[in-house]
Amino acid sequence: MPYEIAMGPRERKSPFFDRAVADGATHMTIYNQMYMPVSYGDSAAEYKRLLEGVSMWDVASQRQVEITGPDAERLVRYLTPRDLKDCPIGRGKYVPICDHDGRLLNDPVLLRLEEQKFWLSIADSDILLWARAIAKEGGYDVVVHEPDVSPLAIQGPKATDVVADLFGDWVRDLKYFWFKETELDGIPLVVARSGWSKQGGYELYLCDGTRGSTLWDKVKEAGAPYGMGPGAPNYIERLESGLLSFGADTLPDSSPFEVGFEKMIHLDREDDFIGKQALTRIAEEGPKRKLVGIVFGGDPVTFNEHPWVARVDGHIAGAIRSVCYSPRRQSNIGLALLETRFTELGTKLEFKGDGRSFKGEVVPQPLVKPGTPIPE
Ligand code: THG
């Protein structure tokens, strides 16, 4: 490549940064103004480890927006269209956040730590600014800030054994998306059964940024007997499994209905929330675009640096947002954000990328069924 991305003080380093580099991180992205490793240089090995073993990921850039105070619950309810009626302490929830016009702003995981203490574990957009402004303008009695909290993900079928060796067998009974505040040899953290893959696993939310290397070393040591190695949010597995990448798969004016979030948009709620009117209108009219799964032929692609224009019978239909080669489907796959009239299953697409021309087709999601093994 003829250029490199310069590193500087405007972007933040994760508490795990030094260890990730020492363990061979080769590629970083920037997410919430923080470096995040996305590869350790061997894509096939990282994929295999996630599907058949266990891998550890520096996902500190999934920053927390903490909301505390007497009005914390009321503010959180106002921020998301999802009804939080069943949100006890210790349970996480996937909660879309929209603006007043129904645009999707983020798709965080919400954690309720106390009656009036919440974290929004955010994707790549500035929800701290948004939540603060909404709170002030609305006169909510809350404090909104970014705590010193940095998630480390442990993902894959053997993750449970690694995390149980570290914390005890109670982690085996932790339900999906539930969490517990605990510590590891005096390191304060939250153990959650979650993570950005469909292979199972945990996220350790480190609550003291000075202990990043110590936690990394302990986790690495516990994982050694299981062949654990470093990894990162896996682009291939997430496309196969249908996990949304906010900002990659979405446009700045995408509504949650475009990306299949209708089950989390509770328009019949009695209380008000941001975007209620607009979302009600969009639900009635139907979304103008939809994110769909596609398969396409040709030699295996790696990934796309930018969206590719997609055409149907010569008409611009939208864009291919994310692509990769799926070893389990043995085909190129991707997600395309298309005008709704072009999203019928079986619709034939033409597009160009990487100097090549492709022919693809709209297919059902997930692109790969859960549990499908990697072929020999
Ligand atoms: N974990 C934590 N924070 C995060 C992410 C994470 N912040 C950024 C980003 N990921 C937020 N986006 C997502 C997207 C998908 C999921 C979680 C966070 C996810 N989805 C499951 C699914 O789609 O099948 C479950 C959704 C549900 O419960 O309904 O896990 O990964 N801490």
Taking the CA of residue 263 as reference, the ligand 1 atom at the shortest distance is 29
- Which pTM was predicted? 0.97
Query: Which mutation among 121, 178, 179 tests ligand 1's pocket best, with the greatest number of atoms within 8 A of CB?
Result: 121
376 — pLDDT class (breaks 50, 70, 90): confident
> At residue 1, does pLDDT exceed 80?
no
5 — pLDDT class (breaks 50, 70, 90): confident
Q: What is the CATH number of domain 288-363?
A: 2.40.30.110
Residues 77-106 pLDDT 10s? 999 999 998 899 999 999 999 999 999 999
Q: What is the mean pLDDT of residues 51-68?
A: 98
CA angle 340–342–344, rounded 5-degree value: 90
Ligand 1 centre and the CA of 39: distance in Å? Answer: 20
**Contact by Cβ (8 Å): 138, 146:** no
- Cβ neighbours for 161, distance < 8 A, ≥ 6 positions apart: 54, 226
> At residue 60, does pLDDT exceed 80?
yes
CATH architecture of the domain covering 17-62+149-238:
2-Layer Sandwich (3.30)
Domain boundaries, the chain: 17-62+149-238, 288-363
256 — pLDDT class (breaks 50, 70, 90): very high
Q: Which of 299, 111, 86 is nearest to 189 (CA)?
A: 111
Ligand 1 centre and the CA of 108: distance in Å? Answer: 7
> At residue 242, does pLDDT exceed 90?
yes
Residue type at 296? F
pLDDT of the residue at 109: 98
What whole-number percentage of the chain has pLDDT above 70? 100
Pairing between β-strand 143-145 and β-strand 187-192 as defined by DSSP bridges: unpaired
> What are the backbone dihedrals phi and psi of residue 229, each rounded to the nearest 5 degrees, phi first?
-140, 175
Ligand 1 binding residues, C-beta < 6 A: 62, 94, 107-109, 121-123, 151, 177, 194-196, 203, 243-244
**Coil/strand/helix, residue 223:** helix
pLDDT of the residue at 17: 98
Ligand 1 centre and the CA of 252: distance in Å? Answer: 19
Residues 21-35 pLDDT 10s? 999 999 999 999 999
pLDDT of the residue at 121: 98
pLDDT of the residue at 362: 98
